[in-house]
Amino acid sequence: MRRIILPLASLMLFCSAAIGAGGVYEYAKSQASAAEAFFKQHPPNDGQTLSIRVYADGKAVAYEYVLPFKRNATYEELTAWRIAARSYVIRRSCPTIKATPFFKDGFHFRYRYLNREGKVIDDFLVDKSACESL
């Protein structure tokens, strides 16, 4: 996961100059498009990510990961994973979204993690309130 988030920070800042008067929705679309293109050229090589899809979702850039969760994972194991993943992702993502020109307008990230069967294991936002909680 670490190898995925850090290159995106540079990508997000690079693309910010490409948006004019389109507002936060156009910004989210352009960021999602750039991130999707990035992952097509540089698929995650972390030994865990089976696939990733990036798309605009209103004012958000949504990252949807398919990971090889154990089929018989217990509730406690999944809860521990969720806590660790959210903590890591929020700490790494907040500096990136705060640096964007549309953070004050509600620009944010959405992270969805699915198992191989397509069941959502976790789905959360990295937005102003998540960043303020740090």
pLDDT band at 128 (very low <50, low <70, confident <90, very high): very high
Prediction pTM value:
0.84
Per-residue pLDDT tens digits for 50-82: 999 999 999 999 999 999 999 999 999 999 999
Q: Provide the residue range defining the domain that includes 88.
A: 2-132
Q: With 50 as the cut, is the pLDDT of residue 14 above it? A: no
Read off the CATH number of the domain in which 24 is found. Answer: 3.30.300.250
Q: With 80 as the cut, is the pLDDT of residue 15 above it? A: no
Q: List C-alpha distances in Å: 120 to 20, 25, 38, 131.
A: 35, 25, 24, 23
For the chain, the domain total comes to 1
Q: List C-alpha distances in Å: 115 to 57, 63, 71, 101, 106.
A: 21, 14, 8, 34, 29
Compute the half-sphere exposure of residue 35: CA atoms within 13 Å on the CB side of its CA: 27
